[in-house]
Structures are given as C-alpha cells and as structure tokens.
Amino acid sequence: MISTKDYSLLPERDKLKSVCKAISVLDAILSQDWEYRYYSYNKDWAEDEEFFEMRDGDGDQMLVLFRPDGCVINGYAHEFEQPDKAQLTNNLPAIFEEFIFGEPVNSVGTTFCLWTTEQRNWQTGEIENHDNNAEEFLTVFDGNPQTYTDWAVTYFDENTIDPSALLKLATAIYAGQTLNKAMVLSVVNQLDDWQLLKTDLDEIGYTYSF
C-alpha cells in the first residue's frame, strides 16, 4: 500500500496525472453536484500548471500540482497533528515552493508532502515516525480501476451503483477511451445536465463524443 514510508508503488508523474484525470471524470459522472465529489481536476489551473484536488468534506484534503518539470503532492489529514513543515519539505525543489508555501496549500495545512522531478524519483522530507493518514489518501493512485470502484460504490450509494458496470467504465476511462453517452448511462440511469458534464470534461481535459 502506498504511504510516505513506502512510496515505491506511487506511479511516475504522467501515469499519476492520467489516474487523477480518470477518477475526476468518474466523480463528475457519479455526482454532478460538485459539493459531493471527492476528486476534481483542472488542466488550466495556471500557466503550464495543472491541479488535482481531493476533499472529503470533513476537513481532509490532498492538493497535487503538475508541472512540465515535476509534480508535488500536499496532504492534510485534519485529525492528525501537523509536524514541522520545514522538516516535511526538507530539500523540496525551488519550483514547488510557491505552491507549497502559498495559497491554497498554506490555508489547508500539511501533514505529508511528496514530490518528483524529471531528474529524480519520488521523495519526501523528514517524516520521522508521525502518523499522517497518507495511506488512505494515496491508495487510489495505485492505477487499479478496482480500487476506485470499491471506494465509489460505498461512498456514493451501493444500492444504486452496479459494481460490475462501474468497474467496466472505470477500466475504460483509466485506459483513456473517449467517453460517450452509452458509457455514461451504463452506470447512471439518467444524467441531469449533459452540458455540465461537457464543461467538467473540458476542465479536466478528457475526450468525449456527445
């Protein structure tokens, strides 16, 4: 399981970006109300920067910045004590400092931080032996559509979601297949606002044909 103590299973930057987009697409389909989504993605967050966010509604958040020259993950688990941020970010590349020490990260908080650049594999600062709930945050990045499916069936409504249908859709989206109406309607009986979904998909940067 991925954690700050063992992040060898965390995928490389481009694969991670693909997973972040996929789970954001799936959330946009399962919940058109953004308030109840866990995952969202903005491919045009800033010039040459893309942004992924996880928020559980109870105070936990994960913010991920993608740049052409690297990626940084900031996690905040509200039930855990925040360690010294200087230690958590020890040896953080300068290209990530504005994000990690600016907004919105500064207001959210930091209980763990991971980063990678084109020249290096994933790294973290000094984490010592503190608890940070990173496993719960990072597990969805394992690249396995079943991981998202198992979580989503429980989170959204296990009585209205067909797990096998969602797994089939998740597998297709993880593979980057162009989304069409039939695929969407395989997991939801009806979609209230197709234009809203188009807007969400455009923001994520995911291809569709409807």
pLDDT at 157: 75
Residue type, 81: E
Whole-model pTM above 0.85?
yes
For 157-175, b/e burial (b = at least 16 CB within 10 A) is eeeebeeeebbbbbbbbbe
Phi/psi of residue 68, nearest 5 degrees = -60, -25
d(CA 128, CA 29): 40
* 144 confidence band (pLDDT: 50, 70, 90): very high
Query: Tokens 């945050």 sit at which residue?
Result: 137
Give the best-scoring range by mean pLDDT among 14-23, 103-112, 151-160: 14-23
| Residue range 58-67, pLDDT digits in tens | 889 999 999 9
